[in-house]
Amino acid sequence: MADNAIYPSQPAHGYGQTGYTHQSSTVVVVTQPGYAGQVEAMPRPPDYICGSIFACLCCFWPIGLVAIYYAWRARKLAARGDMVGATSMANSARNLVITSIVIGIIWIVIVIVFRLTV
């Protein structure tokens, strides 16, 4: 079908009148300039410093010390604005805190069982 074809029109106002109208389609494309770059604001990740100190003092201290180091690095990177690095360090600190707590609980259970059996 061509854009400038002539088609019969519908009856106007129910009177049964027919006629021919000229229909054409014109498409207007408007483009707007895009952004030069998008800035994505990432929230500051938690640094897990309190959990790291707890893990060091109350659970398995060697892993707790490493968790404190990673938590400290996460805090420093977040202060500099490196949220990707801070998130990575915070995740490492969190994993080390969990590991320290699990090892600490296992160690306490082993000591209790050993004391009860001996």
Q: Which residues pair with 20 in a beta bridge?
A: 8
CA distances from 28 to 25, 31, 96, 109, 113 (A): 10, 10, 59, 75, 81
Q: Is 31 inside a domain boundary? A: no
Q: Is 47 inside a domain boundary? A: no
Q: Is 39 inside a domain boundary? A: no
Domain count, the chain: 1
Q: Is 24 inside a domain boundary? A: no
Q: Is 82 inside a domain boundary? A: yes
The pLDDT assigned to 58 comes to 87
Domain with 89, as residue range(s), is 54-117
Model pTM? 0.61
48 C-beta neighbours (distance < 10 Å), count: 26
The pLDDT assigned to 82 comes to 87
Q: Is 105 inside a domain boundary? A: yes
- What is the chain's pLDDT, residue by residue, as a tens digit (118 residues)? 555 555 555 555 555 555 555 555 555 555 666 655 665 677 788 888 998 999 989 888 899 999 999 999 999 999 998 889 999 999 999 999 999 999 999 999 999 999 999 8
Q: Is 68 inside a domain boundary? A: yes
